[in-house]
Structure 1
Amino acid sequence: MLEPANFKLVNPKRINLLDYDRKGLAAFFVDLGEKPFRATQLLKWVYQEGVEDFDLMTNLSKSLRAWLNENCYIATPEIVIEQIASDGTRKWALQTSCGNRVETVFIPEEGRGTLCVSSQIGCALACTFCSTAQQGFNRNLTTAEIIGQVIVAQKRLGDSKKITNVVMMGMGEPLLNFDNVVAAMNLMMDDFTFGLSKRRVTISTSGVVPAMYRLTQVCDVSLAVSLHAVTDELRDELVPINKKYPLKELMEACRDNAKIAPRRTITFEYVMLDGINDSMQDARGLIKLLKTVPSKLNLIPFNPFPNNAYRCSSSETINRFKT
């Protein structure tokens, strides 16, 4: 990369340092001939002090700061739309540097604040009940664009509201953007950034089975699974990736994940669709399907969107389904 002692080369393409977790940032500085602890120093400036100007990072050498100014930058997505609901929920449309937009949502609850983060622009999985899927797939978000959502949200919320939990449940399938998502989650859990515990970071998947096995080996976070059906026939229709990784394989991967943290439960998400998956037979099927996995079930009322024929189950049906 660069000659260690003198930083002679200037990278024609500047690097957003938010793309690195601490391990990657340490390797970056070592390649420059710097000590690995420079990574910790930079993380503290950016995440704890909110400083993005290299010239203000006074414990970095003058020559290093000058080189960083020439070759690197720190940038997050920008808020272009903000919606605030009566219950305090905030939905932001964030614009990336190339003009694409993603959604980020903050959900306040008693004693906690959950941020729902996107991993892709659009989605390739074509789930029939999901509005994002109708947009098609554009591209993966970078690590900087993922962790940038957390940075932007916390700045906007200020000191009065703290992000205590992050769920990778926004736009996109996180496990199809594996490396960037894992790097971003590592940053969320780093003691020198947001310091979230592994049980407070959750990744949601529609069932990319090989990546689920890989995840258990490299990143210990909580798991949520978008289930939505208890038979392969129906799930093939609602969640087409099921044709590639059917329920038997999905549940085996869930059981494997549960072995890593036996005291932790896996959250199964189940959108309630009127007359589609909300019968008592479906409820009994859920009990049978989930009995071998430490789990909790999240029943989600369907949120209608244009040009979609599905309807939300009635409140009576949902309550009966719960019991």
Structure 2
Amino acid sequence: MKRALLDATAEELTAWMTGRGHPSYRARQVVRWVFDHRAESFDRMSDLPRGLRSELDTEWTVFETEIAHHHVSPDGTDKLLLRCRDGKTIECVLMAEADRRTVCISTQVGCGMGCVFCASGLKGVERNLSTGEILEQVLRLRNLLPPDDRLTNLVVMGMGESLANLDRLIPALDRLCSPEGLNFGQRRVTISTVGLPEKMRKLAELDRQYHLAVSLHAPTPRLRDELVPINAKVGLDAVMQAADAYFHRTGRQVTFEYVLLADLNDRPEDAEALGALLSGRKAHVNLIPYNPVAGLPYRRPSAEAVRRFERIVSGRGVSVSVRKTKGREIDAACGQLRRRLQADAGPEPGAVALIGQP
């Protein structure tokens, strides 16, 4: 099997070059072609000798996934379903609005956190993505843009629990933020987590400037245990303390994501409890009206319920916004497109269906 170029370190690629009698600088040329010139094959790398291109093509592959589906919504949102070498599929999204070009990427095949309303975790977690598979999502989405256009923001909010794959995610982000990568500013990167306190503290200790978003979804331990089952193991207090520690270590305001579910966590008393929990903290709340998933019983709240919730939380002195919905026509919420296409085509190779799930 060919080696994945994006999984190789600069040192590994340089050693491969020199071991075959090629100058070490050829490794940098190859990387520049992929990151700067959007090359998706070695044949395009015109300043490399033809013989070297042939050698590379024999042993390496630029991209190891293939595009299984590419959907574009009327609002211009692009969603890719990528098929990995083992047949597993992952999702990533490109959202364009005004002068912003934001990509949303996945870190795992599936998710093991079990949030009851989420399509990503309905089959559990199957495996972590490699560093190369994480990088590849960003590059494939970037390559959809016109040649003179560039990405402005990166959010790690797709399939999977980001911090559960921290050891592969951070090398990918560091490479994207380096001058040899896409030269992304760290402050333009947001990492989302359901709230794994030890991993949140580990991320803080890395002294990066990545923005942290905690998927809260409930303001009380009892309700969060119901909606986010992992909370019963880690505890809401521990999550909040780790979020505070992240802010104090990095100086970066923490965002708390809150998916609004009709008549479940969108009530006035829930808003009051959320406001009380975050009052006095340097934090921002991102309210997300639920994007319905076929087969699940949860509903999107009314526009008035969303406005009421926002008014109550902001009335407690907490910064709050409502996320604008994009890409609903193409199942842009993480896990939805993958789940729908699996239902049409049958299970992926090696996938195990959960008993009782539609």
The interval holding the TM-score normalised by the smaller chain is 0.7 to 0.9
TM-aligned CA deviation for residue 54 of structure 1: 5.2
CA distance in 2, matches of 1:65, 1:119: 31
What is the SS of the residue equivalent to 2:266? coil
CA contact (8 A) 2:64 2:133 kept: yes
Alignment of 1:80-91 (within 5 A): 80-91=68-79
1:224 aligns with 213
CA deviation digits over 1:44-77, x for unaligned, max 9? Answer: 1221123355577687799987765554332242
TM-aligned CA deviation for residue 121 of structure 1: 0.9
CA pair 64-179 structure 1, distance change in 2 beyond 3 A: farther
Bigger relative contact order (CA 8 A; separation at least 6): 2
CA pair 163-280 structure 1, distance change in 2 beyond 3 A: same
> 2:228 pairs with 239, 246, 249, which one?
239
TM-aligned CA deviation for residue 282 of structure 1: 1.4
CA contact (8 A) 1:77 1:149 kept: no
What is the SS of the residue equivalent to 2:234? coil
Letter in 2 for 1:113: R
Alignment of 1:217-296 (within 5 A): 217-218=205-206, 219-262=208-251, 264-296=252-284
CA deviation digits over 1:151-181, x for unaligned, max 9? Answer: 1111122336532111010111111111111
> 2:164 pairs with 167, 176, 180, which one?
176
CA contact (8 A) 1:126 1:134 kept: yes
CA distance in 2, matches of 1:105, 1:156: 11
2:61 aligns with 73
TM-aligned CA deviation for residue 135 of structure 1: 2.4
RMSD: 2.5
Give the TM-score of the pair, scaled to structure 1. 0.86
1:121 aligns with 109
CA deviation digits over 1:180-236, x for unaligned, max 9? Answer: 111111122111221110111111000111111111222431111100001111111
TM-aligned CA deviation for residue 270 of structure 1: 0.3
CA contact (8 A) 1:18 1:144 kept: yes
CA distance in 1, matches of 2:161, 2:112: 8
Are residues 1:48 and 2:36 paired? Answer: yes
CA distance in 2, matches of 1:105, 1:56: 26
CA distance in 2, matches of 1:78, 1:162: 22
TM-aligned CA deviation for residue 26 of structure 1: 2.7
CA contact (8 A) 2:17 2:24 kept: no
What is the SS of the residue equivalent to 2:212? strand
Are residues 1:194 and 2:182 paired? Answer: yes
TM-aligned CA deviation for residue 269 of structure 1: 0.6
2:10 aligns with 25
Are residues 1:321 and 2:306 paired? Answer: no
CA contact (8 A) 1:77 1:152 kept: no
Aligned length: 307
1:6 aligns with none
CA distance in 1, matches of 2:13, 2:161: 28
What is the SS of the residue equivalent to 2:298? coil
CA contact (8 A) 2:17 2:27 kept: no
CA pair 61-244 structure 1, distance change in 2 beyond 3 A: farther
Give the TM-score of the pair, scaled to structure 2. 0.78
TM-aligned CA deviation for residue 25 of structure 1: 2.1
CA pair 79-61 structure 1, distance change in 2 beyond 3 A: closer
Percent identity between the two aligned chains: 38
CA distance in 2, matches of 1:16, 1:222: 29
Moved more, 82-91 or 53-62: 53-62
CA distance in 1, matches of 2:210, 2:25: 26
Show structure 1 runs of 5+ residues with no match.
1-12
TM-aligned CA deviation for residue 291 of structure 1: 2.7
Letter in 2 for 1:15: R
CA distance in 1, matches of 2:49, 2:189: 35
